[in-house]
Amino acid sequence: MNLAKLEPIAMQKENVESLSNTASLSSALLERKNQAPGRPDYIKVSNFSFNYVPAVRVLHNITMDIPEKQVTAFIGPSGCGKTTLLRNFNRMNDLIDGVSQEGKIYVNDQDIYDRDLEVISLRKRIGMVFQKSNPFPKSIYENVVYSLRVSGQKNKEVLDEVAEKSLRSAALWDETKDRLQDSALGLSGGQMQRLCIARAIANRPEILLMDEPCSALDPIATAKIEELISELKQSFTVVIVTHNMQQATRVSDRAAYFYLGKLIEMDDTTQLFSNPSQKETEDYISGRFG
């Protein structure tokens, strides 16, 4: 998989553009490919706290900057709030009744909890791969092109093209090219996960949130996904949650370590893994945790 393979999608620029509700942002999306790394505080979290139920705080005063066009890894023990934070970036936690939050999150200087913000266009800019794969009970093809369909794309050629590119990127094309119209639920667990990745990148979002995308994958598929992530960061901002330290070191530029809902440390990945400034971080990455 190399960049040349992604070119055709880039050439579909007008199409992709027309799909997005926020034309100003998406038009920039593909042009930035070979530019210098973007701003360091593309996603800005400031003093953010989060409760699922009143009085039980899950995230405590998180403040962090996630740089544009880089891969940021969230690591930390189970239950420490990685998923919770990730889901706040595209306001998926709105769906849960009774949640409350304090502090602010900005995406490209836009306060995402601003009441004037149209949450649908925010979500269109942010792709998400969930921790548990959740393919729709539709065909493989329809799963992949879902985001284009809801944006009103009807051109069959565009859809076909996007479906193929996305599946190729997610290392699923070879296995599914002959059964695109079969139900997605007939796929294996790992295939489903890759399908969800293909689905998330289909309309080329600006930010890709990946919650343990490789937890159900074998080493070969994992390698492909990691390769994909490295490619994606050329144009997208990627946030990945992982329990796999090697993976974090392989793919990410920056890493953040969470513990019990607190951000313990955030640094360049090499720095964090080779020379953590906090004792907890060191214990965790060296496997002495718990």
Partner 1 sequence: MNMKTGPEDTALDDPKRFTASRQVLAVDWFMTVFIRLGGVGVIVTVVGIFFFILSQVVPLFQGANVDEVSRGEAPSLPQGNYIGLATDEWSELPLVVREDGRVYFIDLRGQRGVVEKAPEWLQGGKVSAIEIDHGAQVIAMGTDGGKIHLIRFEYEPEFVDEVRTVKESLSEEYQGMVEAGKPVKLIAMGQSERVRVIGTVSGEGGSQSLEVKILKRKRSLMGVGKWKEVEQGDLSGELPAADKIQKILVSNRGDALIVVADSGRVSYFFRGDEGFKIRQHFAPFEDMPGRKIITTGFLLGDVSLVFVADDGSNRVFSLFRSEADPVRKFYHTKTLKSLGAAADYYASSSRNKAFLLGAGKHASLRFSTSEEIRWSEDLPWKVQLGAISGKYDALLFLDDAGRLHKYQLDDPHPEAGLKAFFGKVWYEGAPEPKYEWQSTGGSDDFEPKFSLVPLIFGSVKGTCYAMLFAVPIALFGALYTSEFLHPRHKIFIKPVMEIMASLPSVVLGFMAALWLAPLIEDKVPSLLLVMIFVPAGAFALGWLWGSRPMYIRKWIPQGLEFLYFMPVLIALGWLGWILGPHLEQVIFTVTDPQTGKSVGDFSQWWPKVTGTSFQQRNSMVVGFMMGFTVIPIVFTIAEDALSNVPAALRSGSLAMGASRWQTAWRIVLPTASAGIFSALMVGLGRAVGETMIVVMATGNTPIMEWNIFSGMRTLSANIAVELPEAPHHSTLYRTLFLGAFVLFLLTFLVNTIAELLRQHLRERYKTV
Q: In the β-sheet with 110-111, what is the strand arrangement from edge to edge?
A: 56-66, 43-53, 100-107, 110-111
For residues 232 and 71, give the distance between their C-alpha atoms in angstroms, rounded to a whole number: 9
Residues 128-147 that bind partner 1 (CB under 8 A): 128, 130, 132-138, 146-147
| Number of chain residues interacting with partner 1 (CB under 8 A) | 36
Binding test (CB under 8 A) with partner 1, winner from 116, 174, 178, 218 = 116
CB 99 within 8 A of CB 51: yes
| Interacting span for Mg ion (CB under 5 A) from 54-62, 75-83, 106-114, 145-153 | 75-83
Binding test (CB under 5 A) with Mg ion, winner from 12, 20, 72, 83 = 83
Applying CB under 8 A, does 222 fall inside the site for partner 1? Answer: no
Binding test (CB under 6 A) with ligand ATP, winner from 46, 131, 183, 271 = 131
Output the CA–CA distances (angstroms, integers) from residue 271 to 26, 103, 118, 254, in the order listed. 33, 28, 38, 9
What is the secondary structure of 208-229 as a DSSP string?
EEEESTTTT--HHHHHHHHHHH
| Interacting span for ligand ATP (CB under 6 A) from 72-80, 158-166, 231-239, 266-274 | 72-80
For residues 105 and 103, give the distance between their C-alpha atoms in angstroms, rounded to a whole number: 7
Applying CB under 8 A, does 123 fall inside the site for partner 1? Answer: yes
For residues 111 and 45, give the distance between their C-alpha atoms in angstroms, rounded to a whole number: 10
Residues 81-100 that bind ligand ATP (CB under 6 A): 81-84, 96
Q: Residue 263: which of ligand ATP, partner 1, Mg ion, none does it interact with, CB under 5 to 8 A by kind?
A: none
Q: Residue 127: which of Mg ion, partner 1, ligand ATP, none does it interact with, CB under 5 to 8 A by kind?
A: partner 1
**What phi and psi values does residue 114 have, to the nearest 5 degrees?**
-65, 135
**Burial environment of residue 279 by CB neighbours within 10 A (0 to 12, 13 to 18, 19 or more):** exposed
Paired strand residues for 267: 255
Applying CB under 5 A, does 72 fall inside the site for Mg ion? Answer: no
Whose tokens are 């996007």? That residue is 162
Whose tokens are 């004792």? That residue is 279
The minimum distance between CB 250 and ligand ATP, in angstroms, equals: 19
Residues forming contacts to Mg ion in the complex (CB under 5 A) are 83, 131
Chain residues that interact with ligand ATP, rule: CB under 6 A: 52, 58, 78-84, 96, 131
Q: Which residues bind partner 1 (CB under 8 A)?
A: 21, 90, 92, 95, 97, 115-118, 120-121, 123-124, 126-128, 130, 132-138, 146-147, 149-151, 183, 185, 192, 196, 199-200, 203
